[in-house]
Structure 1
Amino acid sequence: MIGLVTLGTIMNYLARSTLSVAAPTLKGEFGLTTEQYSWVVLAFQASYTVMQTVAGTLLDVMGTRLGFFVFALGWALSNIGHVFATGWQSLALFRAVLGATEAAAIPAGAKVTSEWFPANERPLATSCFQMGTSVGSMVAPPLVAFCILWWNWQAAFLVTGALSLVWAILWWFAYRSPADHPRLTSDERALLEESKSAEEGVSRPARKIDVLRSRSFWGIAVPRFLAEPAWQTFNFFIPLYLVSVWRLDLKDVALWAWMPFLAADFGSLAAGLLPGWLMKRGIGVITSRKITMTTGALCMLGPACIGWAGSPGLAILLFCIGGFAHQMLNGALITLCADSFETSAVGTASGMAGSIAWIGGMIFTLIIGQSVDLVGYNPLFVALGLLDLVGAAVLWSLLRNKTAPARS
């Protein structure tokens, strides 16, 4: 099941990353400025931000199987729709639809993790589907560049959209909840029921209003708000940075731009393994997640130094450290939603936290669009490193080792 979710996350991030790789081509095709490109990115971010809360709630209401299928079908078709763009305004419109439909991916992953895994296995399960975010972003540069160089930019969106469409059909026929899955053994079912029975003894919010009133929710949401700008910058601006600062061409972008996302895979893996290692040494569940997040935040000092890089190779190395760091800390934060809320509310809690996170990413994208042509990228990279350190401090201050207040 987690392999199926991971594949879906790969398709999700492959589709959204198509634009960033095609951006230098589209800037020439449509005569876009950096500011206009930032508005296109913001259209995606704004709809994604609003819809994460809606998508999380719909997943809780519709069920994981039907809900994720509907959203996957939507993002596949909207990604294909990019081929009809004729300028930055129409491109922004298709990006807005894509953002609205892609918003279900992380809440769905968190919900599947909550349904299928006991608490001690959730960090590794979360790291698996989170690895899909970086694998999708890693596959995009060579695949999209190949499509553009061999055919045209429209082919890139057709191919990545078609792959998502195939996955949506696969999901519908393959996914079942533990209660409905015919191949789940009696021992596995007993283990899940035992884990859920143990968690019932811990009072956790089940309704949206309880989630919003929860100190734990804000202990997760605020660090995600501060962390998301880094991931948005890596996803949407690395190719443009390499072209504008280091004067690389599309072939060079295809050669370099996937590397930070490979490093991000190792960060996702670290987010899954480190908490288990800490728990075996007597550290509590919540504290193990806090330590993991803080370790990632400290590693974010690497990309803060990109402005001092003397070559594109060194800049990519620092981006790699940043990709590793972000996925490590973000994996811990996503897992905390499954730890802190009822299974029936995990999609809602994860979606609302995701909306708050993407508000942070959206604000930072707006800042990039308005300032990068004036001050360059360097001060922005420094800011990204400092934001995660503040997020770690907030996490330790707000999130208690015992989960949130009693549900009504």
Structure 2
Amino acid sequence: MKKIKGMRWWMVAMVTFGLIVNYLARNTLSVAAPTMMADLHISTREYSYIVVAWQVCYALMQPVAGYVLDAVGTKLGFAMFALAWSLACASAALATGWQSMALFRGLLGLTEAAGIPAGVKATTEWFPARERSVAIGWFNIGSSIGALCAPPLVVWTILHASWQWAFVVVGVLGILWSLLWMLFYKHPRDQKHLSDRERDYILAGQEAKYQHGVPAKASWKAIVRTRSFWSIAIPRFLSEPAWQTFNAWIPLYMATERHMNIKEIALFAWLPFLAADIGCVLGGYLSPLFHKYFDVSLFNSRKWVMAVGALAMIGPGCLGLADSPYTAIALLCLGGFAHQTLSGALYAITSDSFGKNEVATATGLAGMSGYLGATLFTLLFGVLVTVVGYSPLFVVLSVFDIIACIVVFGMVRESAPLGVPARA
């Protein structure tokens, strides 16, 4: 059997494409929103209910999805969820009002919840600790690319067909990816194209927690009782509202506050997500650079990457000071870069803090915390945006991310996973 050099990077590329279709599905709504809302006579408050339906279902399903992935494995679990979210996305074309759209988006939230836990689990299996933040940065770029591709793809489909067809097209793309995932993804132990040299390199660079045979899987109760969990869950609760606001509200902000038409939205709405791509990748490489040149441990270097992202989040907090729409877009770009930088650092900390039979469950539980925070903020956003406008709400998001960074520095400690003795 022919061995493929750098097989671990091919595997993370597949995860990246999975996250692209995942985020295409969730961002189709925000781009189609101006057209869809006019067609179905949906108000801004009712639109916030649609967004919340997705967020609540996503939040509640995150720990369940993580548990399923830890139980059945990355390959089968990710494929099942991807097929389901693709069908749910396409079904949104059948919506006739805000209630039915909320139902279909709720189904999408339930099924999309496996995306990030699956990515973290796959990189934990395939990468040594020193490369894991880089690998997470590369797969996390899929979320930004998906959001980046949504405006031109959805607007093109609307202009040439209808907003309903936009949901169908994205659903078909997800079905195709799920089939490719089942054909090509394999665990390192089953991947015949993986060379012995690369396999040894991966195993030698993994922490001791991966070298204790097959540890018993920790329960949800055991995970949530740990300091490690809350040191991640609280920052996720505070930071996730920013990213969900970017995903759900940027096109509407451009249409209502900056008075852009649908073609201008297609031209500019993807730029913050391009900046987010840069944040994903640069954030991944910053961690080993801090470790090498600033004499901090690999684990603590993740904290400093998060600090970079939190400070950059001051940018979108200044949105109200921007008179030019182009300056506003630039500040939103800085926000996209900032959030994905700190988000990747949080995922790396999660991967470092939990064992391979716990990491997807822990990621899912922390994700539930994040999306509960996003849900509460979206409910407030839908009500307050018509009263105080967008600018004060973006200030709140910036403050939330800075507080999240402070919590990480105050609470996160390097520790052994559940069931594995800590090093003396």
TM-score with structure 2 length normalisation?
A: 0.94
SS in 2 for 1:310: coil
The answer as to 2:43 corresponding to 1:33 is: yes
Which of residues 84, 91, 101 in structure 2 aligns to 1:81?
91
2:242 is aligned to 230
User: In structure 1, what is the equivalent of residue 325 of structure 2?
Assistant: 312
Q: Which residue of 1 aligns with 2:20?
A: 10
> What residue is the counterpart of 1:168 in the other structure?
178
* Alignment of structure 1 residues 66-215 onto 2, 5 Å: 66-196=76-206, 198-200=208-210, 206-215=218-227
Structure 2 alignment gaps of length 5 or more: 1-10
Query: Secondary structure of the equivalent of 2:42?
Result: coil
The one of 278, 284, 301 equivalent to 1:266 is: 278
Cα RMSD over matched residues? Answer: 1.6
In structure 2, the residue matched to 1:335 is 348
Are the aligned partners of 1:13 and 1:134 in contact in 2 as well (CA < 8 Å)?
A: yes
Distance 2:358 2:365 in 1: 11
- Tell me by how many angstroms 1:308 deviates: 1.1
Deviation of 1:393 (Å): 0.8
- Partner of residue 292, structure 2: 280
Deviations 1:268-291 (A, max 9, x none): 012110001111233102210000
Kindly state the Cα deviation for residue 193 of structure 1 after the two structures are TM-superposed: 2.6
1:32 Cα deviation from its structure 2 partner: 0.8
For the structure 1 residues 206 and 32, does the alpha-carbon distance in structure 2 shift closer, same or farther, using more than 3 Å as the test? same
Residue 13 of structure 1 contacts residue 137 of structure 1 at CA under 8 Å; is this kept in 2?
yes
Q: Distance in 1 between matches of 2:210 and 2:174?
A: 37
Q: In structure 1, give the amino acid aligned to 2:103.
A: L
Give CA deviations for 1:21-73 in whole Å, capped at 9, x if unaligned.
Answer: 00000110011110000000000001000001100000000111000000000
In the alignment, which residue of structure 1 is the partner of 2:8?
none
Change (3 A) 1:168 1:205: closer
For 1:359, the equivalent position in structure 2 comes to 372
Aligned residues: 408
* Offset of residue 206 of structure 1: 3.9
* Matched letter for residue 223 of structure 1: P
Q: Is the Cα contact below 8 Å between 2:354 and 2:418 reproduced in 1? A: no
Deviation at 1:216, TM superposition (A): 1.4
SS in 2 for 1:211: helix
- Kept in 1: contact 2:217–2:357 (CA 8 A): no
2:334 and 2:270 mapped to 1: Cα distance?
A: 13
What's the CA shift string for 1:303-353, capped at 9, x where partnerless? 000111102111110000000000000000011111011101110000001
Contact 1:225–1:361 (CA under 8 A) maintained in structure 2: yes
Equivalent in 324, 329, 335 of residue 337 of structure 2 = 324
Q: Secondary structure at the match of 1:302?
A: helix
Q: Unaligned stretches of 5+ in structure 1?
A: none
Q: State whether structure 2 residue 255 is matched by structure 1 residue 243.
A: yes
Structure 2 residue identity aligned to 1:221: A
Cα 1:34–1:115 shift into 2, 3 Å: same
In the alignment, which residue of structure 2 is the partner of 1:292?
305
Distance 2:216 2:339 in 1: 27
Q: Give yes or no for contact 2:210–2:356 (8 Å, CA) kept in 1.
A: no
Q: CA deviation at 1:378?
A: 1.1
CA distance in 2, matches of 1:170, 1:371: 44
* 1:396 to 1:404, Cα distance in 2 relative to 1, 3 A: farther
Percent identical across equivalent pairs? 48
* Alignment pair present for 1:254 and 2:293: no
Return the alpha-carbon distance in structure 2 between the equivalents of residues 245 and 164 of structure 1.
33
